[in-house]
């Protein structure tokens, strides 16, 4: 399965949702997640993310391991998103900033 990681927070570009053949992205206030049971591992979303926030689970950096659980949990709570929308207003400014994990809104 593929996993959305920290750098999506406060960016939420949403280019990823447009290419997903099974519409398995779910949307929160400032972050998206992938439903691990619905993702078919096609890898199409990974290169689409301008923030490079999407990784295959087995290629996740050590610092991002907790996002496996975060994606699984929030995909059950948040609504589905299948159409691209505008990024969050300060997406460019937040892209690449460290320490965004604490800013994840539920
Ligand atoms: Fe969707 Fe494919 Fe990305 Fe999984 S890997 S979330 S199926 S686009
Ligand atoms: Fe987030 Fe990248 Fe998609 S910033 S919304 S994972 S395109």
State the ligand closest to the CA atom of 49.
2
CA dist list (Å): 73 to 51, 69, 91, 96, 98: 22, 6, 24, 24, 23
**44: which 2 tokens?**
């199409």
- Which atom belonging to ligand 1 lies closest to the Cα atom of 41? 5
| Atom nearest to 25 CA in ligand 1 | 6
Residue 5 in 3-state DSSP? coil
Q: What is the ipTM of this complex?
A: 0.98
Question: What tens digit of pLDDT does each residue of 25-61 get?
Answer: 999 999 999 999 999 999 999 999 999 999 999 999 9
pLDDT digits (tens, 9 = 90+) for 1-10: 999 999 999 9
What is the residue with the minimal CA distance to atom 7 of ligand 2?
49
Which residue blocks in the chain are alpha helix, DSSP H?
A: 15-19, 66-75, 91-94
Residue among 16, 20, 34 nearest 72 (CA): 34
Ligand 1, pocket residues at CB < 6 Å: 2, 19-20, 22, 24, 34, 39-45
């Amino acid at each position: 399965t593929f996993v959305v990681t920290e750098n999506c927070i406060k960016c939420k570009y949403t280019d990823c949702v447009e290419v997903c053949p099974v519409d398995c992205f779910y949307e929160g206030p400032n972050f998206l997640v992938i439903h691990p049971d619905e993702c078919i591992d096609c890898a199409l979303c990974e290169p689409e993310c301008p923030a490079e926030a999407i990784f295959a689970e087995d290629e996740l950096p050590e610092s991002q391991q907790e996002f496996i659980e975060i994606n699984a949990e929030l995909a059950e709570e948040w609504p589905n998103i299948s159409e691209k929308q505008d990024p969050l207003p300060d997406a460019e400014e937040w892209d690449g900033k460290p320490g965004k994990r604490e800013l994840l809104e539920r």
